């Protein structure tokens, strides 16, 4: 009986870990019960990148006893996220939010929410969004510039100690890229009475609108991984994926693939210019996912990030200081990009100007900076 009990326990601990061996798919060696989850101590992005470099475009890992097939193969990504989305790869793991709800529940929630995120509806609320950002900014900036933002009780809910710093890092790199372009083509900036012409401003604005969100989202995607669960056994490109197996797309690693992106760590806005954007494969750049289950708030997020940047840069000038430190690699163990250290710089108030929406709002004097 003791031998039978030992055999049963051993079988229970090791039984799930033969899935990828049978499929002849490489991957890190799992531990009983934990699978390969101990590797997450390195951070999701580091683990995914290491596996891609070691095993190629397809590999297998285990989240506990759950087999997870990781793929960076473009044709498989297209099949999973689009072609077989409704029939096989409809669902994700975990809870009942719209992003992870299953089957008819997801369809019902999505159909109710989708009309609120159309381009027409978002244009209707754009002004109110900008005014809300303006008032929020004024409340924060007038509290005191010498106080840490996180110490303001209600702001701490939205800006926890592990603050999302991707936008600040990207702003710094965007500024350097623009300066580089100006130095390379000084004739492009036509100046009249010490100011650039209206035509130049409009062109620059269109160029920034085109390349900035895409470029920043390639370097710092909100979701580092996309995943779907197979509702039944299916064969894709000669690989038999069993029922209930999770198929995972490591977005961070995909956006830094040397075969797809030259100098992947470099901030090059021209990658997403009108001339180059058409050549980008949609299954190699997916900051909001792809297919029917892409992010429902994609348009809303893009509008909000542009409005936030406008409000910040319209009112403040940022400069680096001795404590400023920018690191590209996130130190995180969550599925979104967060930094464990604050991004330190010096904000200085600008001269007050009328906001771009042309609706004035009350302002009070800024606190005096040391």
**DSSP-derived 3-state class of residue 101:** coil
* CB 126, CB 358: distance < 8 Å: no
End-to-end CA distance of the chain: 78
Q: Is 198 annotated as a binding residue?
A: no
Instruction: Please check whether residue 81 is in contact with residue 231, taking contact to mean a CB–CB distance below 8 angstroms.
Output: no
Residue 125 in tokens: 């609320």
Residue 369 and residue 348 in contact, taking contact as beta carbons nearer than 8 Å: yes
What is the phi/psi pair of residue 256, to 5°?
A: -125, 20
Taking a C-beta distance cutoff of 8 angstroms, is the pair 228, 92 a contact?
yes
In 3-state terms the chain splits into helix, strand, coil percentages (rounded to 5) of: 45, 15, 40
- DSSP secondary-structure letter at 228? E
Listing DSSP states for 289-316 in one string gives: B-STTS-TTHHHHHHHHHHHHHHHHHHE
Binding-site residue set: 295
Binding-site residue set for heme: 295
């Amino acid at each position: 009986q003791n031998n039978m009990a030992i055999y049963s326990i051993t079988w229970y601990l090791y039984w799930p870990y033969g899935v990828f061996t049978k499929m002849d798919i490489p991957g890190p060696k799992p531990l009983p019960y934990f699978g390969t989850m101990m590797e997450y101590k390195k951070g999701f992005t580091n683990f995914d990148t290491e596996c891609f470099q070691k095993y190629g475009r397809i590999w297998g890992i285990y989240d506990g006893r759950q087999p997870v097939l990781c793929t960076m193969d473009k044709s498989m990504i297209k099949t999973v996220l689009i072609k077989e989305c409704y029939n096989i790869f409809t669902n994700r793991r975990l809870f009942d939010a719209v992003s992870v709800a299953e089957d008819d529940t997801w369809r019902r929630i999505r159909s109710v929410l989708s009309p609120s995120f159309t381009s027409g509806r978002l244009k209707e609320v754009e002004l109110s969004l900008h005014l809300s950002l303006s008032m929020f900014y004024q409340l924060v900036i007038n509290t005191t510039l010498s106080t840490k933002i996180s110490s303001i009780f209600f702001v701490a809910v939205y800006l926890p100690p592990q603050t999302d710093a991707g936008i600040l890092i990207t702003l710094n790199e965007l500024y350097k890229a623009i300066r580089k372009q100006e130095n390379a083509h000084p004739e492009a900036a036509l100046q009249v009475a010490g100011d650039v012409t209206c035509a130049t401003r409009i062109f620059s604005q269109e160029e920034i609108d085109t390349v900035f969100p895409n470029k920043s989202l390639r370097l710092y995607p909100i979701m580092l991984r996309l995943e779907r669960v197979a509702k039944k056994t299916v064969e894709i490109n000669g690989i038999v994926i069993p029922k209930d197996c999770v198929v995972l797309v490591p977005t961070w690693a995909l956006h830094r693939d040397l075969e797809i992106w030259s100098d992947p760590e470099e901030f090059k806005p021209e990658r997403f210019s009108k001339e180059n954007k058409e050549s980008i494969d949609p299954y190699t750049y997916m900051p909001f996912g792809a297919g029917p289950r892409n992010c429902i708030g994609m348009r809303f997020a893009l509008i909000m990030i542009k409005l936030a940047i406008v409000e910040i840069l319209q009112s403040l000038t940022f400069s680096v200081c001795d404590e400023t430190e920018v690191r590209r690699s996130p130190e995180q163990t969550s599925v979104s990009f967060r930094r464990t250290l604050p991004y330190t710089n010096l904000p200085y108030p600008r001269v007050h100007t009328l906001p771009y929406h042309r609706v004035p709002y009350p302002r009070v004097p800024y606190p005096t900076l040391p």
